[in-house]
Amino acid sequence: MSPARKPARSGRLIVLEGLDGAGTTTQVERLASALRAEGHSVLTTREPSDGPVGVLIRQALTGRMVLPGPGGTQPLAPETLALMYAADRTDHLRAKVLPALEAGQVVLSDRSVLSSLAYQGASLPMEWVETINAHAVPADLTLYVGVPIEVAARRRAARGGPEELFDAEEKQRRISKQYEAAIRLRGKREHVVRIDGDQPVEAVTADCLTQVRKLLGRKPGRAAVR
Ligand SMILES: Nc1ncnc2c1ncn2[C@@H]1O[C@H](COP(=O)(O)OP(=O)(O)OP(=O)(O)O)[C@@H](O)[C@H]1O
Ligand SMILES: [Mg+2]
């Protein structure tokens, strides 16, 4: 797999992106149900993946994996985390995404490389983050579920559960800006569509489905030549 080239494949890769609490997990599940009801074969997946490096990333995000040092423990270096995300992504592509695309499935991924550019790019040079992700396969369609910071925070609070490393509101503000920069950068190579996530769940799904149907209505093969 050469960097940034789309391999020949008959399936479609659709990625949902957004701030923590934007609703990407909710929408991946709802889109999958809607598309299956229309007869599509759908694989839902996520990054960090359920592979070995993905498991480590989840441990780092929840503070269960730390860096020991003379003064006690500290979080992993941002560079380490960025490299782990990139490594998990290549595993994820190989183990799950590419086989499903080759089998002609619609793959719905909860996050991918745009998340790395936005989250890791918030504390590291985005160009470096892009470089270490050179093997990431561009999505056929990326849906950026946009919500105001406050809405995302409210939803996270309502959902409950432990706050992860990236959840603090100030950080979310920075990441939101970084997403804009990431969309500008990545948008040159892949089709990124903004979805208004500050609507009832059903309306967000309907807007996502409009975009997905546009994509699936196109003849396969375009991906191989772009
Ligand atoms: N459009 C919506 N309106 C109101 N509540 C919503 C909407 N979409 C999702 N929610 C609720 O907000 C919470 C967060 O949604 P979800 O888990 O899908 O977000 P997420 O983007 O996957 O978050 P994370 O990035 O942290 O995994 C959930 O409790 C969900 O039910
Ligand atoms: Mg989620």
Q: Is 38 left (phi over 0), alpha (psi -120 to 50) or beta?
A: alpha
At 104, the amino acid letter reads G
Asked whether the bond before 220 is cis by omega within 30 degrees of 0, the reply is no
Q: Return the H-helix or E-strand segment holding 101.
A: helix 98-102
Ligand 2 is a single-atom ion; what residues have CB below 5 A from it? 25
**Contact criterion met (CB below 8 Å) for 182 and 114:** yes
Could you give the C-alpha distances from 110 to 15, 63, 144, 147, 205, in angstroms and in order?
Answer: 6, 22, 11, 16, 14
pLDDT at 108: 98
What is the number of the ligand 1 atom nearest to the C-alpha of 198?
1
Q: Whose CA is nearest to atom 26 of ligand 1?
A: 20
Write down the pTM of the prediction.
Answer: 0.91
**Contact criterion met (CB below 8 Å) for 47 and 111:** yes
Structure tokens at 28: 């991946």
**Contact criterion met (CB below 8 Å) for 41 and 102:** no
- Residue 161 near ligand 1, beta carbon < 6 Å: no
pLDDT at 164: 63
Domains of the chain: 12-49+95-225 (3.40.50.300)
pLDDT at 169: 79
Ligand 1 pocket test, candidate residues 25, 62, 163, most atoms within 8 A of CB: 25
pLDDT at 162: 67
The DSSP code for 96 is: I
Closest CA to 195 of 176, 209, 216: 209
Ligand 1 pocket test, candidate residues 26, 205, 208, most atoms within 8 A of CB: 26
Query: 3-state DSSP call for residue 145?
Result: strand
pLDDT at 49: 98
d(CA 33, ligand 1 centre) in Å: 17
Mean pLDDT of residues grouped by 10 in the chain (226 residues)? Answer: 57 97 97 97 98 97 92 95 98 98 98 97 96 96 97 89 69 94 92 98 98 84 36
Q: Return the H-helix or E-strand segment holding 226.
A: none
pLDDT at 1: 45
d(CA 73, ligand 1 centre) in Å: 32
